[in-house]
Structure 1
Amino acid sequence: MEAKNNRIVIAIDGFSSCGKSTMAKDLAKDLGYIYVDTGAMYRSVTLYALRHGMFAADNTIDTEALQKAMPEINISFRLNTGTGRPDTFLNGECVEKEIRSMEVSSHVSPIAALPFVRQALVRQQQEMGKEKGIVMDGRDIGTVVFPDAELKIFVTASAEVRAQRRYDELKQKGMAADFNEILKNVEERDYIDTHRETSPLKQADDALVLDNSNMTIPEQKEWLKQKFEETMEKLG
């Protein structure tokens, strides 16, 4: 498959809290590509549902109300000149901090499992990737959103390592964090993500596996850079 204007689609999939987003953001920045955080899109829908009382006390979702509201949920990304990375906007409001809260984390998997939510967001994601030169991360990018992506990466790490990273990230932001609660959330999300009916998390047959349990950020960057260069060489 030929790359359009020597620019390709890079799909990064994997488990929650693997550092996919940081990795994808850095790679996009280095390549001058557009970065799309699909997880942030599902988190934004979750935040909208929480704010509009669409979760019952037992955490069941008012799917009828959410389906009706989907056309009014507008998610966009704008570059933050301070960080050099994109921030997530929900209906014109910057929600980058709100969507990373533990409350959103513990409600996002059932929202992301809803077929009508996935269909709506996948359409938006495919539209974003038409012009190539894009790095997108999520759960089903290489299998559903861009099955023809020229470079597919599947990221994994142990649940304990991922929970520790999430704990450190929340502490760093001055947010409340409990390691055992986070580990439980990570394991629950793994189960839901891999067992849902619509677009479950799975490794694409042609994806390159990156287990970053014991890797530093610079080592990951070097690995990704090497794989990108190898892919571009193959494409000629």
Structure 2
Amino acid sequence: MSFVVAIDGPAGAGKGTLARRLADHYRLNLLDTGLTYRAVAHALLDFGLPLDNVSAAETAARQVDLSALDRDVLSAHAVGEAASKVAVLPSVRRILVEKQRAFADAPPGAVLDGRDIGTVVCPDATVKLYVTASPQVRARRRFDEIEAIGGTADYDQILADIKRRDERDMGRSDSPLKPAADAHLLDTSEMSIEAAFLAAVAIIDDAVAESDDA
């Protein structure tokens, strides 16, 4: 198996930024698996199709090209909300998980972040991280991000959205969001991006050293 770092956690915990830093540091391929679900949701929204249209969602999932995921387009708030509804469809998850596993298996290895990487997609990952932060901290980060680019936002609305999304992600019957039994917990509530990155590197390097000694 390739060198794989699996990063799971709720929305806004910082796992995407951390994944990008780690992929660059270790020179590994990078996949934000959430973008694959967003791509399906975006396709359904584009065609005006209901998000619970299983056959259409399956078709869209099969057509997802992991090399052509446009973060700028797929990062829209409405797409994210739609994606968390599409992600509860078991058949869509199965199609996308196959694509994600193939990505992880390609040399030299990969960093994948999402909701079920360590538990479902890559249960044998070299290292598993579960990145979290309090809902209030995650809402504040999102609020600050929006204001930093000149937008307007309602903190209470963002917090409510995050809590609803957490409930959907953690409560779904298929591949719910939860830490893998052997995941390393990284709470970024009181951490800067740099501190979280250094903590993750220490965890990964220690895990690799232990594996080499075994």
Give the TM-score, by structure 2 length: 0.92
The verdict on how the C-alpha distance between 1:177 and 1:200 changes in structure 2, with shifts beyond 3 A counting, is same
Which is richer in helix? 2
- Please tell me the root mean square deviation across aligned C-alpha atoms, in Å: 1.6
Per-residue Cα deviation, 1:30-76 (whole angstroms, up to 9, x for no partner): 11111110011111111111111113xxxx522233234433x2222
Structure 2 runs not aligned, ≥5 long: none
Q: Conserved in 1, the CA contact under 8 Å of 2:116 and 2:175?
A: yes
Candidates 29, 34, 44, aligned match of 1:34:
29
Equivalent residue, structure 1, for 2:42? 47
Aligned ranges for residues 125-204 of structure 1 at < 5 Å?
Answer: 125-130=100-105, 131=107, 133-204=109-180
Distance across 1 between alignment mates of 2:109 and 2:56: 36
CA, structure 1 residues 175+39, in 2 after alignment: closer, same or farther (shift >3 Å)? farther
> 1:80 maps to which residue?
none
Match of 1:202, SS state, is: coil
- Gap regions ≥5 residues in structure 1: 78-88
Distance in 1, matches of 2:116 and 2:210, equals 24
Residue aligning to 2:208: 232
Which whole-Å CA distance do the structure 1 matches of 2:47 and 2:149 have between them?
A: 26
Distance 1:160 1:234, change over 3 A: same
Task: Find 2:186's aligned residue among 183, 205, 210.
Answer: 210
* In the alignment, structure 1 residue 61 sits paired with structure 2 residue 56: no
TM-score, normalised relative to structure 1: 0.84
Q: Is the 8 A contact 2:23 2:110 kept in 1?
A: yes
Contact preservation (8 Å) 1:9, 1:132: no
Aligned length: 211
- In structure 2, relative to structure 1, the CA distance for the partners of 1:27 and 1:136 (3 Å cut) is same
* C-alpha distance in structure 1 between counterparts of 2:126 and 2:56, whole Å: 38
Relative to 1, partners in 2 of residues 1:112 and 1:176: Cα closer, same or farther, differing over 3 Å?
farther
CA separation of 1:165 and 1:75: change in aligned 2, threshold 3 A: farther
Higher fraction of strand: 1
Q: Is the 8 A contact 1:13 1:141 kept in 2?
A: yes
Percent of pairs with identical residues: 37
Offset at residue 99 of structure 1 (A)? 1.4
In the other structure, the counterpart of 1:121 is 96
Find the counterpart in structure 1 of residue 73 from structure 2. 98
SS of alignment partner, residue 71 of structure 2 = coil
Q: CA deviation at 1:166?
A: 1.4
